[in-house]
Each structure stands twice: as C-alpha cells, then as structure tokens.
Structure 1
Amino acid sequence: MIDLTQSILDRDNLNLVLDNLKLGIIAHTPDRTITVFNKEAQKITGYLKEDVIGRDCHMVFQAPFCGKKCSFCDTTPNFTSGTKEYPVNIITKDGFDRQLEMTVSAITGKNNEFKGVIASFKDVTETFNLSLKAENLSNFAGIIGKEKAMQEIFRQIRDVALYNYPVNVTGDTGTGKERVAYAIHDISSYGNGAFVPVNCRAIPEGIVESELFGHVKGAFSGAVKERKGRFELADKGTLFLDEVAELPLKTQVKLLRFLEEGSFEKVGGEKKISVDVRIISATNKNLKDEVNKGNFREDLYYRLDVIPIHLPPLRHRKNDIPILAAHFLKEAE
C-alpha cells in the first residue's frame, strides 16, 4: 500500500512539474500511444489531455504531430537514442496554422532498452510573424533578404509547407529558386525524405523519360538492368523539377498523368508504380507564354502552378546587397 501511494504521489508530482513548464511536452510508447500531454501542449494545440492520452499520435491530430519527420511513420520504428531538432507546422484543433520548434529524444530504460520518445516544443508563430511585420527577419531557411518582397517569400514558404499542393517557383536565373524549393521541403512533412533536384534542361531529350520514371531491363539498347528514376528516388520526399519548361511534350503527358493518378509506368514496363512525392517546379520562363506558343501543355500548367511563388531579382531589392555581402564574407572566413 505504501509503495502504491508513493507511486501515485510520484506520478502526481511529475504531472505537476510538467504542467508548470513553458514548453509543450508530449511522450509516447514505441507503438505511438500517447502517455504524456502537459498543459502547455494543450494550450498550443487546442487539444485537451483527455482527447489524446492513450491514443495514437498519428491518428488523434489532423495529421501526424511530428509532421512525418519522426522515425515512427513506417511500420517498424527505427528511432535511435539521441536528440532530433526540427521545425514543424501544425494545424490546431480550431484550424489555425502554428509553427513550432520541436526537440525529440529517446526514452530508454535501466538496461538501455527503448521505451518510447519524449518531445518538447514551443510555439514560434508570433515571433516569426512579428519579425516579418517589422521586416527584420534577414535569414530564413538559408535564404538571405530583408526587403519586403523577401519577407513575403518567407511567409509563403512557411504557409505552403503545410500542404502537399504543387508549387511553381519563377524568377530569373540565380535568384535562388532551388533554395526556396529546398526550404519548403525541409520544413514540410516530406522533410525527412529525399530532396531530389532535376535540371530538365540538362537531360538529353532521348533519355529524359527514363531519367524521370526509370526503365526496365531491355527497354532499349543499353538497358542491361532495371533502373529507378527520379520519381522513385524521391518517394516520401520532394522532386524538384528545375527548368520545367524545357520538358519535351511527350514527357509532359506522362508527368500530367502522374499528377492526376499518383502513379506511373517505367519505360518499357507495364506495372503501375505508386509513390508519395511532393512536386515543386521552377522556371525562368513565363509558362503561360510557353502555353500560348504551343511549347507547354495548358492542362499541365494549371496542375503545376497551383501555388506560384515569384522571386524578385537582386536589382529589384538593392537594400539586400549589403546583407548578402556580409553573409558571403562571413562564409569565406
């Protein structure tokens, strides 16, 4: 009886300590059953403790709470001891977007056996918004700039990372389209997967379909073995199609079919392959003009240009030049 009373007291004291922390705390077992959810976690997410305790952390919220960045998104957990830190965007119970900074650690027993994970997180949404409003955020996800146009780019990156809609980044050569694409990937639910960039201009027209979708053995002369394409390599991650306006019309048809169905066939193959890939495209051309010229399919244009982001050239944001110069000088030290 004394041991039971002491156990209850220890548990109550632990809950009291956790509820007085100014960080959200969530913990779960190896099978993702939530065991701890403190007051700050309730405040940030809008979910009550009784809503989540004893439930799967991938099922109780509107999306996996980790943003699909933890090691429990596959059937077999593969979480090694240590600490992971990453940003994550969530949607609260009331439907509001919040940006969090999360730290995740393994819970181990006396004999170093794996018992689950514990995560602490804080809401940095208001800090981020205030920095944007004051236009004093000069570095976001490795992108440098304080001009108002760049603050809007930072806001767009944060907002679109929440969703899996195709993004089309436009801008002159050298404006940082790939950096923006990677930033979206990194803070999105696909950030734990691969970021696979493809320069569509650099691939010879005769092999572009094989490069993107792969081929089976014997599909053409020289295809001595089956090969994965970029779509398969980017499964659970992001495929970045740079210079997408340069894709041949035949390949555009196959890309359109993938965007509609979520599956494709390898060159020379008959089996449909399904992958979970986020598509981000980029071009320094006006795609609408390319449609009018007959160089780009109109239906594909509307599929890719769901969320457009335009990057201004440096000549239109001259106030960023000193900041960029200081950044590169520091890098060179």
Structure 2
Amino acid sequence: MATLYDVCKKTGLSTATVSRVINGSNAVTEKTRKIVQDAMKELDYRPNQAARMLAGKKTDTIGVIFPEIDNGFYVQVLRGIDNAAKEAGLHLLTAFYHDKTGLKHTLQSLASRGRTDSIVMINNDLSDRQLKNLVNDAVPIVMIGHSAETSASFDVVGIDNTNGAAAAVAHLLEKGIDDVMLLTGPADNFDSMQRLNGVKMAFEDAGKDFSKARIIESFFTYDGGIQHMTEYLDAGNPAPEALFAFNDRMALGAVEALKNKGLSVPEDVIVAGFDDTEIALYAGLTSVHVPMMDIGYEAANLAIRRVDQKKFNPSTITVTTSLTVRKSSKG
C-alpha cells in the first residue's frame, strides 16, 4: 500500500507540499497540484488520517477515554456520545485505562499525535495541572464528572449528586428508620463527596443525627459491595435497617452479601442505590436515576463546539437526577 512518503519520493516534493495538495490548500500552483494528483493516481495512494494531520486538518474524530466498559453507566454515556457524533457526521476513537499511569499514556497518545479534534474524559483521576501539562492545549478536553478545580479550566458535564443522594436518603428516613448505613466510594472521589453532602442534607432536613449513620468506604464495584458488607457482618455487627449505596453495583453486591447471611431485602434491610442502571430495573432496586445518555450527548456536543471555539470560557452543564422507587425499599 502506497504511503505519503511514496508520493513525495515519486514527485520529488516535500511532505508539506504534498499535504497541502491533499488537503486542498490554495498555497500550491496548479502545476504542482497536477503533479501530486497524477502521482497519487499512479500509486493508488489514498490519503489517510496521518496525511491530513501533517497539514493540520481536522480528523473529524472525537476521542473518548473511559476507565472501563463493564459498567452500564459508561455504556449508556457512550451511547449518548455516539448519538451526538452521528448527528455531526463525526467518528469516535474510544480508549480505556486501568490505572493513573495508563490514563496519562492514553491521554498523551490521543492529544499529542493529532488523532482527535477533541477529547471527552470520564472519571478523570488527574489534577488540573497534570492535565494541562499532558495536553498542553493540543486538543480541547471535556470532562464528565468534575471538581471545583477542573470546572474552572475545562468544559464539564456533571451530575446533581447532592440532590440525588438527598432524595434517596429522605425516602429511607420517611419510613421511620433511624439506622442507616452508607456504602460510599473512595474518600477522595468527587462524586462520592458530593453524595455524602446530600446525605447530610437529608438527615438535617429530617431532624436526624447524621453522626449515628454507619459509613463504610468501598470501591464503586460489585465486588466491593460484597466484600465490605461481608466484612462488616462477619465482625459481629448487626445488619442496618436501611442501606444507601453510592452506586448500583455496590448496592447489588451488598444485597448479595446480606442474602449470604440469611437476610432478606426488603424484609430485613431496605436498600437504595445510585445511577439507575439497567440492572437496577431487573433487580427491583430503588435508585437515583441519572440520565446517562443525556450526559454523553451534552459532553459530545461541547467537544464538537469547542473544536472551533477554543477561546471561550469553560462551560459547566449539570444534569438533574430523580429517584426511582422499587421493591428494594418497599416501594
């Protein structure tokens, strides 16, 4: 298969000149244009993304960086991103990472090699300074989930975590329950911190003592829910009357641990989660509904707009949440 450099060798012209012809630049003579086009035809050369990059032309591609894909939340967000990209006639380049080092390498690869016009990032684990050093303004970045720091520097699509968590806990407290366990995400996770603030707000509004809530830190995973609930019960602690897990996967893991100990949901423990992923519907789990496809759609549109409007102030969009009550909380 012929390459850009084969065309350069055939014509005796520089890559810059050949790239200008490929990208329709007016900065070449008609004679030069014909020489290049004839060589391309003879060599059966078809311009690819790399050739377009050399002339700084748009790739018509949005990069998406996910921490994982085995999560209904991310799948739905990706569907929203894909819908927006299709409407705009753009492509997606999706990459995954498993740790902070992997995230750095992935981000640098997509940003520094001109493979995308903009990037949508989910659950970013890097600081504002680290992001800027890695990307160096090469491409615009849109964040899904944010902290006060990142929202001041990048476009952000966030979730109304606070009011969503408050609604879930208010629902549990309305049943006359005082004994509530919280299964949170990592202490330094922004979503988890916001949801914890919402829980405190619900306790205050109900005139309840938040200090009596039992708080267990976990990993936002199904296995984490099983592990930490099992460890808690194995230590001889009584099961709570109510459990609010900060996402559905932890909630369902905790439910499995309760069942393994001979406890029933909702007869012995009422349970609520967060995200309202598809599995929550089938499991009958009360959960805070997050419009995941809307998040992806809004993020992609910000990424598309930012390609041509790089100098505008960062935008922040917060999507609203609502509580979906099901049988796990005696709904």
Specify if TM > 0.5: no
The structure with higher relative contact order (CA 8 Å, sep 6+) is 2
Greater fraction of residues in strand: 1
The structure number with the bigger radius of gyration is 2
